[in-house]
Structure formats: C-alpha cells, structure tokens
C-alpha cells in the first residue's frame, strides 16, 4: 500500500499572479444618445438595456463612485441601440427626400407654349413676384427647358420639410378689397408658401374682405383689442355658434372681426371674441351701417335658438341635397353650391342679424316669394325647404337678369337695385367670390 503523502509534502508549482479581467465592450457601435434617469433605475440596468457595461457608462459620463448614486431626471450619455440607429437613418433618408422634393418644387421647367403669366397662375404666385425672383421683365422671352424659380417655395420650404424650422411669431392681416394672397405675402414680407401653411390655404383658395390671414410678425401691443380673446375656428363652427358658446352677441363678434353676416369662416382661422356685454349695453340692432328693427333681431334670435336645438344634415349631406334640388328645378348645381357655400358654408344653423336663415340665407319675405314660386309653403327652418327657396330664387334671377353676374348680384343686393343703381362695391366682391367658388365645384 502506497504511503499517503500529506498535501504539504506535494511538490509546489508556482501559480500565475491574479489577472484583472476587463470587460471589453464596444463603447457605442451605433453612436451615442441621451437617456434621462427614471425612478428605480440603476447603472447596471441601464447598461444592460443599452447593450454596454457599467464601466463604459461610468467612464463616458464621468460618474463618481462607479455610478452608484443616480438622480431622477439626470441625463446620461448612452449608446444607441441598433433599432434607434435604423430609425434615425430612416428619418434622415425621409428628410433628404423631402428636401429634394421641396427643391424640385422651387423650380419649374418651361414647356412649349408656357408664358410667365401662365406659370404664375399655375403656381399661385403673382406675376410681379415671379419676375422679381428670376430677374426678368414682362418682355422677357422664355426658352423651352429653361428653369424658372418659384418664389416662396425655395430653401425655406426645403428647411421646413426636414422639420428643422423653428416656430415663427405671427400676426394677423385683415383682407381688403382687391387683395390676393400673393399681394398679402409681398406686403407683409412673408413667403407665399408660409402664408399657405399658416392658414391651411392653397393656390386656389378664395379670400374675402374682412377675413383674418396669419402672416409673419409680432402683433404690437397697441393693436391688440382690449376686452377680447383669441379663438381658432374648428370644423363645423359657425359665427352664431361661436357667439353663443362665448356668451357674446353675434353682431359684436362680426363687428370685432370686420365680418358680415354673409362671411364664411374656415377651420384654423383666428377670430377675436369680444368680452361678454354688460347688462347696460345697447341693443345690437345696427351693423355695417344698417339698422334692423328690434322685431327683426328678436326673430333672428328665436330662429337661431330653434335651429340650435334641431338636428340638421351634415355638410356632405347638405351638398348632395343642393345638387339634387338644383337639378330638379333646372338650375346649375355648381351655382347653387357656390351660393350656399358663400352664404353659410352649407350650414343650416346659420342665422344672420337680419334674420337671413339657413343654408341659403333666405329672409322670411323672400321665403314667401319662394313659396309662391314653389307652389307650396316653405319652412325656412327645414333644410330641404331652405335649399328649395334659395334654388327657386336663383332660377327666377337667372331668367330675369341680363347675365350671370347680374343674377348673382341680385341674390345679394336685390335685382331691382342692381338694375337701377348698379352693383355696390361689396356686391362686386360677392359676385367675384361666387364665381370663384363655382369654378371649384
């Protein structure tokens, strides 16, 4: 039997000195990003989540004590994950594509038959702005294939397309007779594309005298109206509805915004809502230089209240009703649609200070005339009857007037007045608006 050798008697083999094991992690193969520490976070958990080590994080962020003491809300530099890197690359590609598209939109390549005025109209800019942007004159000759710069859609548009543009301060401009969007852009030194974007408009949009258009700039304190608040129009809003919602009179709302009872408002448009009237305030029977009897104003208020409690068709349903009614009575559907849109925005709940009611804004006396032409009693508070009244009135006007312009003017001013006195300045604007709407229908 072999003797048992005690461990101490075993031959001693020299041992290698202990070696410190250093975890070699790629610090940030996809780059770095920022992480905000939340409740319960530890450096180890953050390292595991971002695919690195605590040592790398502590070194990168110069953390004392190995990062054992983190504070909620503390911002750390951490490696991006592969998914984050892919998403960022995709955003960069999309931004580059959008920037390239914006730059392409900024130029127009001349085609056979093009003229400067045609290009300006097609792109929704003024001829003067187009000439100035390209250092041309009205006598300049274009060559097929020539590149023309479109003002208001250049580098600024490309910058916006990347999402890098900062919010700009804005003020409002009140549209005057004869204004165009390109003229407003030039007068306020706001790129036309910016005017479109701020107001959700396009090259074919129609603007109206008294309408507020957002442009670049800061509203001076002296021009801000005391006792009023800003309101942004939403889809489905009406002037009367906004007035009721804010506890103010419709006439006061119209006067504050330089609008008329026939004005059409648009989603995104900013209005100034006057403060609630004091009990001693005078009756709002006068607007735009016209005074209405208290009986008329009271009747309008009753009709407005009645319609507020009544279910009415949607805009798309109302549009279909106008088309069907116009065809049934032999009236151009586009004309009827244009009048209905200008008068109320196809909204049956619209009632003016003068007690013009509903979609087609028919006053009771005109409703009686329409009832005689329709061969039955028309209730202007009912959407179908209201549309019928407006359509048969249009039918009578188009048959009696010398031309379409006079017929349209007759709906607004009265045909006898138009034939005796000619069109008033606001009537001419109304006719132009109706024709513009009709062309788009």
- Residues in contact with 280: Cβ distance below 8 Å, sequence separation at least 6, in sequence order: none
Is residue 13's pLDDT more than 60? no
Per CATH, is 315-440 categorized as 1.10.530.10?
Answer: yes
Q: Which of 75-79, 93-97, 114-118, 167-171 has the highest mean pLDDT?
A: 75-79
Instruction: Write phi, then psi, for 336 (nearest 5 degrees).
Output: -65, -40
Q: What is the mean pLDDT of residues 3-27?
A: 47
Q: Is the dihedral of CA 383, 387, 390, 393 positive or negative?
A: negative
Longest Cα–Cα distance of the chain, Å, equals 143
Closest CA to 61 of 103, 17, 106, 28: 28
- What average pLDDT does the segment 414-427 reach? 85
Q: Is the pLDDT of residue 283 over 70?
A: no
The rounded distance, in Å, linking the Cα atoms of 351 and 239 is 9
Angle at the Cα of 93 (from 90 to 94), degrees rounded to 5?
85
Domain ranges of the chain: 32-80, 85-161, 170-220, 225-277, 315-440
CB atoms within 10 A of CB 186: 19
Query: What 8-state DSSP symbol labels residue 109?
Result: E
- Give 211's contacts (C-beta < 8 A, 6+ positions apart): 174, 175, 259, 263, 269
* CATH architecture for the domain at 225-277: Roll (3.10)
Looking at CATH, the fold of the domain delimited by 32-80 is given as Membrane-bound Lytic Murein Transglycosylase D; Chain A (3.10.350)
Q: Who has greater pLDDT, 164 or 295?
A: 295
What is residue 176's predicted lDDT score, i.e. its pLDDT? 72
Which residues lie below 8 Å from residue 145, measured CB to CB, with a gap of 6+? Answer: 109, 110
* CA 321 to chain CA mean position, Å: 27
Q: How far is CA 438 from its chain centroid?
A: 22
- In tens, the pLDDT along 359-391 reads 999 999 889 999 999 999 999 999 999 999 999
pLDDT at 243 over 90: no
In angstroms, what CA-CA distances link 102 with 87, 111, 116, 149, 153?
22, 20, 21, 12, 7
Query: Does 426 have pLDDT greater than 50?
Result: yes
Between CA 175 and CA 365 the distance in angstroms is: 32
Query: What is the model's pLDDT at position 276?
Result: 60
178: pLDDT confidence band, cut at 50, 70 and 90? low
What does the alpha-carbon distance between residue 261 and residue 353 come to, in Å, rounded to a whole number?
A: 7
pLDDT at 224: 42
Instruction: Evaluate whether 383 touches 348 at the Cβ level (below 8 Å).
Output: yes
The predicted pLDDT at position 361 comes to: 92
Fold match flag (170-220 vs 315-440): no
Which of 97-101, 145-149, 286-290, 359-363 reaches the highest mean pLDDT? 359-363
DSSP code string of 56-84: HHHHHTT-GGGG----TT-EEEEEPPHHH
Q: Which of 94, 106, 167 is nearest to 133 (CA)?
A: 106
> What pLDDT does 160 receive?
42
pTM, two decimal places? 0.41
Structural class in CATH, domain 170-220: alpha beta
Among 23-32, 73-82, 291-300, the minimum mean pLDDT is found in 23-32
What would the CATH number be for the domain defined by 85-161? 3.10.350.10
Model confidence at 41: pLDDT above 70: yes
Q: Within 13 A of 170's CA, how many CA atoms are on the CB side? A: 19
């Amino acid at each position: 039997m072999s003797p048992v050798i005690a461990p101490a008697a075993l031959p001693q083999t020299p041992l290698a000195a202990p070696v410190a094991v250093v975890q070699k992690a790629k610090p940030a193969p996809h780059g770095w990003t920022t992480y905000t520490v939340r409740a319960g976070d530890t450096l180890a958990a953050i390292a595991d989540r971002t695919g690195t080590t605590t040592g790398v994080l502590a070194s990168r962020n110069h953390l004392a004590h190995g990062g054992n003491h983190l504070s909620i809300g503390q911002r750390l530099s951490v490696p991006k994950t592969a998914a984050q890197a892919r998403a960022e690359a995709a955003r960069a590609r999309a931004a580059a594509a959008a920037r390239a598209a914006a730059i392409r939109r900024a130029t127009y390549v001349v085609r056979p038959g093009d003229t400067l005025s045609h290009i300006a109209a097609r792109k929704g800019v003024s001829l003067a702005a187009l000439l100035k942007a390209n250092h041309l004159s009205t006598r300049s000759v274009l060559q097929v294939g020539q590149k023309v710069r479109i003002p208001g859609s250049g580098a600024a548009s490309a910058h916006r397309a990347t999402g890098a543009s900062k919010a700009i301060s804005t003020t409002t401009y009140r549209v005057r007779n004869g204004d165009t969007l390109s003229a407003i852009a030039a007068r306020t030194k706001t790129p036309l594309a910016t005017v479109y974007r701020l107001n959700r408009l396009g090259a074919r949009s129609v603007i109206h005298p008294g309408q507020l258009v957002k442009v670049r700039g800061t509203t001076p304190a002296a021009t801000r109206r005391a006792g009023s608040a800003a309101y942004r129009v939403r889809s489905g809003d009406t002037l009367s509805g906004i007035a009721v919602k804010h506890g103010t009179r419709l006439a006061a709302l119209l006067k504050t915004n330089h609008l008329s009872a026939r004005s059409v408002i648009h989603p995104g448009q900013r209005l100034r809502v006057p403060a609630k009237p004091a009990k001693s305030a005078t009756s709002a029977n006068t607007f735009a230089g016209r005074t209405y009897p208290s009986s008329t104003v009271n009747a309008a208020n009753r009709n407005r209240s009645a319609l507020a409690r009544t279910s009415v068709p949607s805009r798309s349903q109302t549009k279909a009703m106008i088309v069907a009614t116009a065809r049934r009575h032999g009236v151009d559907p586009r004309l009827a649609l244009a009048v209905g849109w200008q008068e109320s925005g196809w909204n049956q709940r619209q009632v003016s200070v003068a007690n013009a009611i509903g979609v087609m804004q028919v006053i009771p006396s005109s409703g009686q005339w329409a009832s005689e032409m329709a061969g039955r009693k028309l209730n202007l508070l009912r959407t179908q009857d209201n549309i019928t009244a407006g359509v048969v009135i249009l039918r009578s006007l188009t048959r009696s007037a010398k031309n379409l312009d006079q017929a349209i003017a007759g709906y607004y001013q009265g045909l006898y007045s138009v034939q005796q006195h000619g069109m008033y300045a606001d009537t001419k604007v109304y006719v132009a608006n109706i024709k513009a709407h009709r062309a788009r229908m």
